[in-house]
Amino acid sequence: MSLPIEPTLAPMEAESVEEMPAGDGWQYEPKWDGFRCLVFRDGDSVLLQSKAGQPLARYFPELVEIFKRLPAPRYVLDGEIAVPVDGKLSFDDLLQRIHPAESRVKKLAAQTPAVFIVFDLLVDEVGGSLVSHPLSERRGKLEAFAKAQFEGERSLELSPATRDVSQAREWLAGVGGDLDGVVAKRLDEPYISGERAMKKVKLWRTADCVVGGFRYGSKTMIVGSLLLGLYDEDGRLDHVGFCSSLKVSEREALTPKLEKLVAPPGFTGRTPGGPSRWSTERTGEWQPLEPKLVVEVQYDHFSQDRFRHGTRFMRWRPDKAPRQCTLEQVARKRRGSGPESSRRNG
């Protein structure tokens, strides 16, 4: 017997909105500060798949062993990989796990073991697909699955969920630390693979962008700013702004990494302009990069197809595929104008 869905299944995604959906028929969940992951178990085989469809098992061997220990011989789970440090989830420590050296991965897995926070069940313990079932039914089956399967496994946690919008608003007010926001899902909807069928609310406007190029700083060969790009509906990478809020130590370490990726054209749609009236001749020049790096930035305003001011660097996103960074994420926003202690208890 094999799984009824393939590991190529794309996870259901979320549309960014500025207001919390309210009314009957919604379920609210914390949006955890980690890597989205689908877990496929079929007998002795365990696959961990990122949101971008990339394998994650080699980076989290401790989780693979845990999934193999569960009594159920087959299942598919949707959830978030996170790394707790001193009682809080640490995205910086999570990023350290994406490392090419196996010895380094093993050392980090022992020092700062990851946890998996589960929020959906797509294939049950007898191998039955649940993707066509409504969330209200999948959630009940997930809670029963967790109760039967997770006993004694402290690295597996059932994510809390509520139908009370006031509780969801309390979670949103406490964003920071473990939480990245709140996700709202329709109770009557099936699992819609690859589509933005959920709603996510954050206190801060953020966007995932491709680093399509960079500029050196004035009178130096150290990176001064990152040039940000988003893909349009025709698949062209448009330049949409810049980010210069990097620490000096970060700039020095980042420069050689970027220089290894220098290759034209960088941007295939709109390209960065020349020097502004505040720039020198040097800062008007830019280096094109292969579209491989994704960065999350915070911004205050997006209009006329660009960030109107410089953005604030949030973090690197190696778990995101560059082609997932589209103008749609900011266009949707433009048209719209504390559960840490309860993670285990759901």
Positions marked active-site:
31
Give 179-191 as a DSSP string: EEEEEEEETT---
Displacement of CA 330 from its chain's centroid (Å): 16
Give 206-220 as a DSSP string: EEEEEEEEEEEPTTS
3-state helix, strand, coil in the chain (%, to 5): 25, 35, 45
Q: How far is Cα 5 from Cα 40, in angstroms, rounded to an integer? A: 9
Q: How far is Cα 16 from Cα 215, in angstroms, rounded to an integer? A: 30
Q: How far is Cα 126 from Cα 74, in angstroms, rounded to an integer? A: 7
Give 143-172 as a DSSP string: HHHHHHH-TT-TTEEEPP-BS-HHHHHHHH
48 exposure class (CB count in 10 Å sphere: 0-12, 13-18, 19+): buried
Q: How far is Cα 54 from Cα 52, in angstroms, rounded to an integer? A: 6
Give 299-333 as a DSSP string: -S-EETTEESS-BEEEEE-TTS-GGG-BTHHHHHH
* Residue 11 identity: P
Which residues does 220 contact at the CB level (< 8 Å), separation at least 6? none
Rounded to a whole number of angstroms, the distance between the first and last alpha carbons of the chain is: 32
Interhelix angle 61-69/102-111, rounded to 10 degrees, is 60
Structure tokens at 104: 């380094």
Residue located via tokens 């040097």: 282
